[in-house]
């Protein structure tokens, strides 16, 4: 449907254009150049930081001050996300869907077929084809379904804004971005090129289908289909691809100088303005395209004749091109694969002498140890709004910048009490109004608060610490800094091995009355004889959840043996059903009470002046961001008051006064709950499912077991138990050495100095930090490592020579 007239068939001035993959590369340049032509631009990508940078860059090209710009973070490999994106754009655009949708999102994994992880075969189709197909489906439904559902011609005229006698509105445009490889593929692109060929086929099909609607609704905006076929685009992604690209592929591409994103965007837009549907941005691609058109649109009779002639010529040329490429491939095989075979033989011999050479091809590092949230899940826009509200109101801003009250801002204490009352409502009496601000103390986060609790409620001579193991290993240093003796107790089948714990508590009674506390008594403090530390719900690291019966009995033991239960309740809100048949609706109620709830309601109920036996250590790190460094403690009013009297709080006041004030705005506005239920729960649920599906596919058959949860799962982590002959430390070292994969061995979650609970066969995987595609790839790499170790009959940890630097892998912090 191309033409040779001077008419602009792609007028975007005043129109709304949505661009997927618009935060970098070609997509970013398309956004900028369309902004320069007067378009209102919406860019869609995953990384919120890059989105913010991209939207600012795009705005710089605005033709006039009335133009509007918007950004959306979304994973378009999900069909529901594509629908959400179109709905959000429509709402932002005054109830009108976008006039043009340009699909630029995608990625390439250029390796030889047998070297390509199986997960990438699916991943490439999801990233390149399905992301565009889902977006096209959502877009076309928003454009065409209202026409099908109209009840009358008058309603039809109202929908399209013209009567039967008027000129139809300008065309809408759906644009795909394919590749030269959709016409002619070669070695190294077996996973990538089929996804781009599928896009071309989809474009041809939809182009014909649109004739159906054009005929049925002649006065509605026609829908034009276009596909761009760029060759090499010189971007950061291209540089990353070259780091994993096979040498043969580089040889076959020799002489391809590539084009900058600016050139590709500019030539694509010019071709769209000329009315072209299948668009090439360089001469070679254009010639190859003409020889491969098949049933594709040719742009009229004259163009068809010209392209037929060119196709005949290119048919002859391509015989020589293919012959040359085949010769290069055979030559490469003779020269390099023989060397590779020799190298493999040498490696096998080296293994016989236990001399393991380092792995050769550099791979992108995948870090499944780091327990951080992916940056795309940080509520930066909501925090900015909350901050603006604080800084624009002197009555709020000025107190937030001064010393705060010891227990923290009263407003946040009240907001947290109300919020928790709603989430844990099943564990409050019906007539309880939830106004329990006196049970809340604002903290500097869970780790800082643990240290403060130990300062007030423990003594290095009298107090023994019991850590439920596997345990959050960095907590061990906090206990060590307080000079406390720490002992391990296993999780057992229900979350705590109560029998072993009670045995240890009973043995400790033999020293009662014999030990004199080092600390002098204070009216606001109490020295507990025992401290029991655990993560009852979606435990870090095991992911296990303590049963209700176990929780209840644990509180009874704490009361009997003068113990303070310190529970990290930081993952409770990040929960989802493990039943695949359960609707993916938000889970807005806790499915189990906290230990502090049980201590509050279990007979005999603590009196008003009791310290109680449980404190809930909460944090906004997992639901807002670790850098917020703000949390809360909940316990009896007396214990909370004593906590607020820690020397550091008495000296400096609330440890996070400014941030606490901003967080209160985030919480009281409802933005935090919206973030939890609309962003975090769905995202982590999908990430968990992705990782679990690959574990079941790649690892279960090797005898690796994963903690799944019976009804609900949540948090950040999965715990794996390896087969008997496989040592977790060996897997960790070999994964780094052979696959550039970082995982956490079970041994680091043991209690230092107590070997009663050993975790040699354990591994912890985090599904929160890496991109979803890398989660699947990481598990696939892990399976290769485990399989290799099992094939060799297992290895000892002293047989590997690469050691994981945990400080570096963590980014120093957890």
Domain residue ranges of the chain, discontinuous segments joined by +: 16-300, 363-375+677-810
Are 223 and 12 in contact, with CB atoms under 8 Å apart? no
Residue 798 CA, distance from chain mean position: 35
The three-class DSSP label of residue 474 is coil
Tell me the fold of 363-375+677-810: 3.90.1150
Q: Is 629 left (phi over 0), alpha (psi -120 to 50) or beta?
A: left
Q: Are strands 172-177 and 223-229 parallel, antiparallel or unpaired?
A: parallel
196, 289, 529, 738: which one is catalytic? 196
Q: What is the pLDDT of residue 499?
A: 96
With contact defined as beta carbons under 8 Å apart, do 16 and 42 qualify? Answer: yes
What pLDDT is attached to residue 812?
A: 38
**Nearest CA among 31, 40, 39 for reference residue 13:** 39
Active site residue 192: yes
Contact 527, 493 (CB under 8 A): no
Catalytic site includes residue 196: yes
Cα–Cα distance for residue pair 462/476, rounded to 1 Å: 18
Which of 592, 686, 538 has the alpha carbon at shortest distance from 80? 686
Confirm if 498 and 553 have CB atoms less than 8 A apart. yes
Q: How far is CA 315 from CA 74, 194, 310, 321, in A?
A: 42, 21, 8, 10
Residues of the chain with pLDDT under 70: 1-6, 150-168, 291-326, 328-362, 430-431, 433-434, 794-814
Q: Report how far Cα 407 is from the mean position of its chain's Cα atoms.
A: 34
439 with 417: CB under 8 angstroms? yes
Rounded CA gap, 755 and 543, in Å? 22
Distances (CA, A) of 207 to 110, 137, 184, 317: 30, 13, 22, 30
Q: Are 545 and 536 in contact (CB under 8 A)?
A: yes
CA dihedral (104, 110, 114, 118) in degrees, to 10, reads -30
Catalytic residue among 109, 129, 134, 192, which? 192
- Residue 783 has a pLDDT of 96
278-280/223-229 β-pairing: parallel
Q: Which of the listed CATH numbers 3.30.470.20, 3.20.20.140, 3.40.50.720, 3.60.10.10 matches domain 16-300?
A: 3.40.50.720
Cα diameter, the chain: 104
Q: What is the pLDDT of residue 584?
A: 87
Strand runs (DSSP E) across 470-613, as ranges?
485-490, 530-534, 563-568, 575-577
């Amino acid at each position: 449907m191309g033409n040779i007239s001077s008419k602009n068939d792609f007028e975007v001035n005043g129109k709304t254009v949505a661009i997927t993959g618009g935060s970098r590369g070609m997509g970013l340049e398309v956004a900028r150049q369309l902004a320069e032509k007067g378009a209102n631009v919406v860019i869609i990508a995953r990384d919120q930081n890059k989105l913010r940078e991209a939207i600012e860059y795009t705005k710089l090209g605005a033709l006039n001050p009335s133009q509007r710009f918007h950004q959306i973070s979304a994973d378009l490999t999900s069909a529901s996300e594509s629908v959400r994106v179109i709905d959000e754009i429509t709402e932002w655009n005054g109830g009108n869907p976008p006039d043009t949708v340009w699909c630029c999102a995608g990625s390439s994994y250029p390796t030889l077929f047998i070297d390509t992880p199986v997960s990438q075969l699916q991943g490439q189709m999801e990233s390149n084809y399905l992301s565009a197909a889902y977006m096209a489906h959502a877009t076309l439904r928003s454009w065409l379904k209202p026409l099908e559902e109209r009840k009358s011609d008058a309603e039809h005229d109202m929908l399209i804004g013209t009567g039967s006698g008027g000129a139809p509105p300008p065309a809408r445009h759906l644009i795909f971005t394919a590749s030269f490889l959709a016409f002619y593929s070669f070695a190294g692109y077996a996973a990538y090129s089929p996804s781009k060929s599928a896009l071309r086929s989809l474009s041809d099909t939809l182009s014909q289908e649109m004739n159906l609607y054009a005929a049925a609704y002649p006065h509605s905006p026609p829908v034009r289909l276009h596909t761009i076929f760029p060759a090499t685009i010189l971007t950061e992604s291209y540089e990353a691809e070259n780091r994993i690209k096979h040498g043969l592929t580089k040889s076959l591409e020799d002489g391809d100088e590539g084009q900058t994103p600016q050139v590709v965007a500019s030539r694509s837009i010019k071709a769209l303005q000329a009315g072209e549907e299948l668009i090439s941005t360089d001469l070679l691609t254009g010639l190859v395209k003409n020889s491969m058109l098949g049933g594709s649109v040719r742009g009229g009779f004259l163009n068809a004749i010209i392209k037929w002639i060119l196709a005949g010529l290119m048919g002859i040329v391509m015989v020589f091109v293919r012959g040359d490429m085949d010769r290069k491939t055979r030559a490469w095989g003779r020269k390099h694969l023989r060397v590779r075979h020799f190298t493999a033989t040498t490696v096998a011999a080296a293994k016989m002498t236990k001399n393991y050479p380092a792995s050769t091809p550099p791979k992108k590092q995948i870090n499944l140890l780091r327990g951080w949230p992916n940056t795309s899940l940080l509520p930066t826009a909501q925090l900015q709004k909350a901050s603006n509200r604080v800084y624009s109101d002197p009555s709020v801003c000025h107190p937030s910048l001064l010393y705060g009250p010891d227990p923290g801002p009263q407003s946040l204490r009240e907001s947290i009490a109300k919020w928790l009352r709603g989430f844990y409502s099943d564990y409050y009496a019906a007539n309880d109004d939830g106004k329990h601000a006196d049970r809340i103390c604002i903290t500097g986060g869970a780790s800082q608060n643990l240290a403060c609790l130990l300062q007030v409620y423990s003594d290095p001579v009298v107090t023994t610490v019991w850590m439920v193991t596997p345990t959050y290993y960095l907590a061990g240093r906090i206990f060590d800094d307080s000079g406390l003796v720490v002992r391990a107790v296993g999780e057992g089948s229900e979350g705590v091995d109560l029998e072993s714990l009670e045995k240890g508590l009973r043995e400790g009674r033999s020293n009662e009355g014999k030990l004199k506390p080092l600390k002098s008594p204070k009216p606001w403090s109490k020295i507990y004889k025992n401290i029991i530390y655990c993560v009852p719900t979606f435990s870090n690291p095991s992911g296990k959840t303590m049963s209700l019966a176990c929780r209840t009995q644990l509180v009874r033991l704490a009361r009997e043996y003068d113990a303070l239960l310190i529970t990290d309740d930081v993952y409770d809100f990040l929960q989802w059903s493990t039943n695949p048949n359960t609707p993916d609706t938000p889970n807005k109620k806790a499915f189990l009470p906290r230990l502090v709830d049980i201590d509050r309601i279990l007979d005999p109920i603590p009196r008003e002046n009791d310290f109680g036996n449980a404190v809930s250590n909460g944090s906004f790190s997992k639901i807002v961001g670790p850098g917020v460094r703000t949390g809360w403690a909940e316990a009896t009013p007396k214990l909370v008051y004593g906590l607020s009297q820690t020397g550091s709080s008495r000296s400096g006041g609330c440890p996070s006064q400014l941030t606490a004030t901003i967080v209160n705005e985030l919480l009281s506005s409802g933005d935090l709950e919206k973030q939890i239920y609309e962003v975090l729960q769905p995202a982590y649920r999908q990430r968990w499912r992705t990782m679990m599906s690959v574990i079941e596919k790649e690892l279960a058959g090797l005898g690796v077991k994963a903690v799944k949860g019976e009804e609900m799962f949540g948090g950040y982590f999965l715990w794996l138990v390896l087969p008997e002959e496989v040592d977790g430390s060996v897997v960790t070292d070999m994964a780094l050495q052979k696959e550039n994969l970082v995982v956490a061995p079970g041994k680091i979650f043991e209690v230092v100095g107590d070997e009663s609970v050993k975790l040699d066969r354990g591994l912890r995987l985090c599904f929160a930090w890496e991109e979803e595609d890398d989660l699947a790839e990481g598990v696939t790499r892990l399976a290769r490592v485990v399989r290799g170790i099992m094939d060799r009959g297992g290895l000892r940890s002293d047989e590997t020579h690469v050691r994981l630097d945990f400080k570096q892998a963590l980014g120093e912090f957890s």
